[in-house]
């Protein structure tokens, strides 16, 4: 009970910290996640909705809703897939590419701040244990 309770408590604390951090930039954490995923995909910074679905671990309806909301904010654009006339690609806009490139080092520094209480040599152990726990619960997407 102590482990599960602490994981739940830490999840709430980290969620609040990240929510506050991203709010300063007019983003929700899930929006940052989509932007970072598209950025990691490499130029031209676009993916199919299916590829986004596989990384987001949400329903296809949730991905559609997220893309709709981000498109309305000018963070992504939908383009026809040149390889499939029925397909769509989701791409970063020039403004969102600049935003994610600015935000990424700030986000990493914020995460470093959040974990600063852990001695450097000890950070791999909790990451390894949490990865093992996630895999044991069926989540194999963390690698």
Per-residue pLDDT of the chain (143 residues; tens, 9 = 90+): 899 999 999 999 999 999 999 999 999 999 999 999 999 999 999 998 888 888 776 777 888 899 999 999 999 999 998 888 888 999 999 999 999 999 999 999 999 999 998 887 777 888 888 888 988 988 766 54
> How far, in Å, CA of 79 to CA of 19, rounded?
30
> How far, in Å, CA of 5 to CA of 132, rounded?
18
Can the peptide bond before residue 44 be classed as cis, meaning omega within 30 degrees of 0?
A: yes
Task: With residue 85 as reference, give the H or E element that holds it.
Answer: strand 84-92
């Amino acid at each position: 009970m102590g482990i599960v309770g602490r994981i739940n408590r830490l999840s709430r604390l980290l969620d609040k910290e990240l929510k506050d951090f991203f709010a300063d930039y007019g983003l929700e954490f899930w929006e940052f996640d989509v932007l970072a995923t598209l950025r990691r995909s490499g130029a031209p910074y676009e993916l199919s909705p299916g590829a986004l679905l596989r990384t987001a671990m949400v329903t296809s309806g949730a991905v559609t809703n997220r893309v709709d909301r981000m498109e309305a904010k000018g963070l992504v654009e939908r383009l026809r897939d040149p390889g499939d006339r029925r397909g769509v690609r989701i791409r970063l806009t020039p403004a969102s590419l600049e935003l994610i490139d600015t935000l990424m080092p700030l986000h990493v520094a914020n995460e470093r701040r959040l974990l600063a209480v852990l001695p450097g040599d000890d950070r791999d152990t909790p990451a390894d244990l949490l990865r093992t726990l996630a895999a044991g619960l069926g989540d194999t997407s963390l690698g």
